[in-house]
Amino acid sequence: MEPRNYAANADAAPPAAPGAPSNGYPRAADPGTGTEATTPGPHWFYKIGESLRRVIIDMGLVPDDADLSLLSQAIQAVIGTGFTESFVSTDQTITSGGPLTIAHGLSAKPRLVIASLVCTTASNGFAVGDEITDGIDDHYDAGVGDYGLNEWSDATYINIRFGSQTSVFIINGKSTGVTTAVTNSSWKLKLRAFL
């Protein structure tokens, strides 16, 4: 569908919104009481039509009056944008300056990769099995770089390069919030990928 196509008398510019809109719900006219029916006005039709049109366009479709299934196609496309495949790595050893190349087994390059640290020896208030996700890719501490990691992926592999510091990661203590460089051997890296 193409909401901008009318039988006659279409304007070249969008209608202005009413200066003092009547807010509420539509009502029918009642000649017996002199009650007038709700008047939608041109801007009401404009905003409904443009909202529907935007859904169609944003999903890469072209508005066309000959195809009344476009809105349905667009909605189905939105529903279909959820992740359909996923991968979870085994726990990976953290090596200062080292690389990781892990086959993810997905049918294409992942749309999202999440790296997390898994505690393997209780430290900094964290218990064995605790996971940290946010902030582990940070590269600086008090102006000193080479911490954290870089991640890049392709259709076959997730690639990691760890920072070259002796302690690759800096975390905030679980109970204190104090920033501390952690011992590599007390943590493992886990990767999750989604397509």
Cα–Cα distance measured from residue 186 to residue 183, given in angstroms and rounded to the nearest whole number: 5
Together in a domain, 189 and 136: yes
Span 19-72, pLDDT tens digits: 999 999 999 999 999 999 999 999 999 999 999 999 999 888 999 999 999 999
CATH code where residue 186 lies: 2.60.40.10
Domain of 53 in residue numbering reads as 41-79
What region, left, alpha or beta, does residue 142 occupy, with left being phi > 0 and alpha being psi -120 to 50 degrees?
A: left
| pLDDT band per the 50, 70, 90 thresholds, residue 92 | very high
Task: Tell me the two tokens of residue 67.
Answer: 């195809």
pLDDT in tens, 156-170: 999 999 999 999 998
Residue 150 falls inside a structural domain: yes
Residues 65 and 116 placed together within one structural domain of the fold? no
In DSSP terms, 159 is beta-bridged to 101, 152
Question: Does the pTM of the predicted model rise above 0.85?
Answer: no
Q: Is residue 161 part of a domain?
A: yes
Domain match, 65 and 141 both: no
DSSP assignment of 9-30 equals ---SSPPPPPSS---S-----B
Domain assignment of residue 162, yes or no: yes
- Per-residue confidence band for 139, with pLDDT thresholds at 50, 70 and 90: low
Cα–Cα distance between 47 and 108 in angstroms, integer?
Answer: 39
How many domains would you assign to the chain? 2
